[in-house]
Chain A
Amino acid sequence: MESSTSYGNLLTTRDLKKHYLVGSVRNDVLRGIYLQINRGEFVGLKGPSGSGKSTLLYQLGLLDTPDEGEIIFDGVKTSLMDHHQRQVTRLTKMGFIFQNYALLPELSTLENVMLPGLSCGKDRSHVESRARQIIELVGLIGKMHDTPDHLSGGEQQRVSIARSIINQPTILFADEPCANLDTVSSKKVMDVLKHLNEHFGLTILMVSHDLSNFSYASRIIEVVDGLVVNRMK
């Protein structure tokens, strides 16, 4: 991977609001979020259950659409993007790590990692060579052809990390990346994330319950009841 050394504002939100209806009951999950994330930061997003941190992550990652407010990503207002532009942005500029790994069970480690690269239309041999390098980077060189059901939780999460960076994204969104992992696996995953941030300048926004994970972050944002209540270095 090449290191990204450009700094400055990458992601900004203004008065971001989102509500869900549970039956006829309105649940305001985000009630006006203002935040800014700079390039190269490792930002931890903390807060109690139901505070809206995962919902916020989904809005920022263009997996969902806010009701009100604005997200400006890499200088572009996401509200002006159509479905195709959002899809292309997710594919080329964003990486995602989910709590449940979200790997395709039918594909091997190598195929899972290669899929976003091939989907960009890149040359197959180039994508494969890069995927092999990244899999080596996350320590899974021996598991190249294993399908997810033959991998441990920690290994699956590292495959997920490898897949998320195949297209050299600008930002990596991690939603509770260690929630289902034991301490040793959690540490390995967090070490990989830290390595990506420090050595390659990858911007990371991580939601977590586990306070120990925030020791890896350069900044912590706390969300309570759908509002940012605290920004800590």
Chain B
Amino acid sequence: MLTAHRISASLAVRSLQHANRRTNFFIVLILVLLIINLLLLSSIIDNIDQATGDQIIDHQYGHMFLEPEESEEIFENPQSYVRTLRNIPGVIGVSPHFVVQTIVVADQKSSATEVHFIDPVYEETVTQKSRFIIDGNYLGTHDETGIILGSEKAGGPGTQFPRLSLGGVNVGDEVVMLFGNDKSQRFDVRGVFFTKLIDADFYIYANEAQMASIYGRDLSDLVNQIVVRIDPSLTSEQSVIDQMRSKGYDGNYFITRESQGFVLTETLFVIKIIILIVSLLVSSGSLFITMYINVFSRKKFYGVLQAIGVPYSIVILSTVYQSLFLVCSASILAVIILYFVLVPYFAAYPLDLPFAFVSLSIDPSSIAMSIFFFFLLAIISSLLPLWSLYKNGIINLIR
């Protein structure tokens, strides 16, 4: 059997050496394009999903967030929740929010909106709004009357939903907020942020220092949402939730990636499957045609082998080795192009989608699966024409 492998490998090498270099080059090129096509589209879709999740984590909820039980409106003893969360290894940021519905009145118009009262320092440990200020500044610790708001809520040129905006407020403008307890409060616009995440760009953040004058309480005991950032290399959301529950801290715990944007995730998954199936069919068809032509162009070679009595096993193995060599070369080239050309290119010039910048990161397991698929397909698509050739009879092959 070892001899058969040696003869087959030797025949395969000789065939590849003797074959027209351009033909081999074009076969490999076609295979490279098919492999990249198979990986690129599904990876981009995966990255869109990933980027959307990252946006929600970075600009809205962190990796996970907590809300009081259905029957409660606020957390009982929120400081205890916050302290306990901060002590869990792997938790790198915890920011309590008090979220209320208000009517915000600006010069031009008014708009109902959610306002998040936050501690600006704690908030920076979870979300990244401070890095996405496009006008003005982030909230200062002692800035009691300042607010920052998203570009969609501020309104003005380029706003996607002008009817829901404040019609174009700018840094330095004054707005009045009307709260549910009939209190009203003046605030100064300190900064406008733009995150590309439409939901986040409708948010308004106010300093918790103003809460006392409106509600007579501050974030130390008036909290209805806690957002949490973790270091995923050290812990997981579920682990944090389990630890909190085991310590008796009830509430509604949400893992952001699972609870937010799931409609998009599901949609993208369906699109990905459709694209994957189409890509697989196109790849299978193209690979089959390529291998079919490759085998049929050498029908005399196979006829001679058969005529002089070379065992089928040697002929089959020789064909398989040739196909594997071509796929192997194409796979190596495809991986080089992906990792050294496309990934760096997308890192430097990410796709500018309306809701996020999407770069390209390819899961090694996807590459392994695709290459395995191509190896399998190459074997099948070279053996099928061989079988078809042999049915023609030796005489037809050697003539």
Contacts and interface: CB of A to CB of B under 8 A. Distances in A.
Contact of B309 (A90, A107, A118): A90
A63 interface: yes
Contacts of A103: 304
B311 A63 contact: no
A90 B3 contact: no
Contact of B3 (A91, A116, A121): A121
Nearest to B308: A116
Contacts of A147: 18
B393 interface: yes
Contact of A94 (B11, B17, B19, B309): B309
Nearest to B310: A119
Most B CB contacts (10 A, CB to CB) among A96, A119, A121, A147 go to A119
A103 B305 CA distance: 9
Given A87-B309, A102-B307, A63 B395 contact: yes
Contacts of A92: 309
Contacts of B11: 104, 106-107
A111 B309 contact: no
A89 B398 contact: no
Chain B interface size range? 20 to 34
B9 to A, nearest CB: 12
A48 interface: no
Nearest to A95: B308
Contacts of A58: 394-395
B17 A106 contact: yes
A100 B398 CA distance: 9
Contact of A119 (B17, B309, B398): B309
Nearest to A149: B18
A94 B308 CA distance: 8
A94 B398 CA distance: 17
A192 B236 CA distance: 82
Given A58-B395, A64-B394, A115 B308 contact: yes
A105 interface: yes
Contacts of A34: none
Nearest to A63: B394
Nearest to B393: A64
Interface in A46-105: 58, 63-64, 83, 87-92, 94, 96, 98, 100, 102-105
A61 to B, nearest CB: 8
Given A119-B7, A119-B314, A89 B14 contact: no
A91 B17 contact: no
A173 to B, nearest CB: 10
A163 interface: yes
B312 interface: yes
Contacts of A89: 309
Interface string B1-42: 001100100110011011100000000000000000000000
A116 B309 contact: yes
Contacts of B304: 102-104
A147 B15 CA distance: 12
B395 A64 contact: yes
Contacts of A90: 307-309
B301 interface: yes
A115 B7 contact: yes
Nearest to B394: A63
A85 to B, nearest CB: 11
Nearest to B10: A111
Contacts of B305: 104
A24 to B, nearest CB: 19
A87 B398 contact: no
A147 B14 CA distance: 11
A111 B14 contact: yes
B398 A98 contact: yes
A91 B309 contact: yes
Given A104-B301, A111-B14, A119-B314, A88 B7 contact: no
A217 to B, nearest CB: 23
Contacts of B310: 91, 115-116, 119
Nearest to B17: A106
Interface string A127-144: 000000000000000000
B314 to A, nearest CB: 6
Contacts of B7: 115, 118-119
B217 to A, nearest CB: 87
A91 B311 contact: yes
A106 B14 contact: yes
A143 to B, nearest CB: 17
Contact of B311 (A104, A106, A119, A164): A119
Interface in B295-321: 300-301, 303-312, 314
Nearest to A166: B308
Contacts of B301: 104-106
Contacts of B393: 64
A71 B247 CA distance: 90
B59 to A, nearest CB: 62
Interface of B: 3-4, 7, 10-11, 14-15, 17-19, 300-301, 303-312, 314, 393-395, 398
8 contacts: A64-B394, A91-B310, A94-B309, A98-B307, A104-B301, A104-B304, A106-B17, A107-B14
Given A87-B306, A90-B309, A119-B314, 6 more contacts: A63-B307, A88-B309, A91-B310, A104-B305, A111-B14, A116-B309
Interface of A: 58, 63-64, 83, 87-92, 94, 96, 98, 100, 102-107, 111, 115-116, 118-119, 121, 124, 147, 163-164
A-B residue pairs, 10 tightest by C-beta: A91-B309, A106-B18, A90-B309, A106-B14, A102-B304, A119-B310, A63-B394, A106-B15, A118-B7, A87-B309
